[in-house]
Amino acid sequence: MRAGIKSFFFPAAVIWSVGAILGIGTILGTGCLGLKPAPKFRSPPSSAQKPAVARTPDSSSPLVAIDFSEFRQKLDRRIRYYLGTPYQLGGESRAGMDCSGLVKTVFREAVGIDLPRTSKQQYRLGTVISKGELKFGDLLFFEMDGSGLDHVGIYYGKGLFVHASTAEGVILAYFKDDYFQKRFVGIRRIARLR
């Protein structure tokens, strides 16, 4: 366990409500929520979708316009597929992935958006969003070790975000946790939602 992170227990109401949101039965709390994916979400990605190249924020046109309910459904399916994947620096598959690899892979496979490979490059894209405007699918950026922006996750809703933890792999965690709030850098929205 990292220094500064305390182990804690979640009240039964929180565990049941998070479980109900995700459609799963068991949640393990060890600083972050560690979840194992349900087998029904392990279908291979659709190869029929052609990736679109994301544009930089100085471009006057939107990155990609997509219906929010379709966006949410597709992204959620990919996120659930990768929950429980072990951490691997530079990885972009079920065998292992890092934080920016998770974001790049999920967006490419779910909605055909081809993002850059690193969190610093991803931070330069999209629309700047405030915490009050946060929606499912927005990218959350962090400075984890004090040497500049080096971590990214995807906001999942209800205060949760998915990211690739070096200790636990791809997991859901509470965005409002002090550990993440102290390291928070900013939010970007990649898709223009209708």
Which among 151, 153, 161, 169 is annotated as catalytic? 151
Examine the residue annotation and report whether 163 is marked as an active-site residue of this protein.
yes
Which among 74, 163, 188, 189 is annotated as catalytic? 163
Examine the residue annotation and report whether 32 is marked as an active-site residue of this protein.
no
Examine the residue annotation and report whether 151 is marked as an active-site residue of this protein.
yes
Q: Which residues of 165-176 are buried (b: 16+ CB within 10 A; e: fewer)?
A: beebbbbbbbbe
Q: What are phi and psi of 17, to 5 degrees?
A: -70, -40
Q: State the Cα angle at 188 between 101 and 6, rounded to 5°.
A: 70
Which among 22, 99, 110, 140 is annotated as catalytic? 99
Q: CA-CA distance, 76 to 114, in Å (whole number)?
A: 17
Give catalytic residue positions.
99, 151, 163
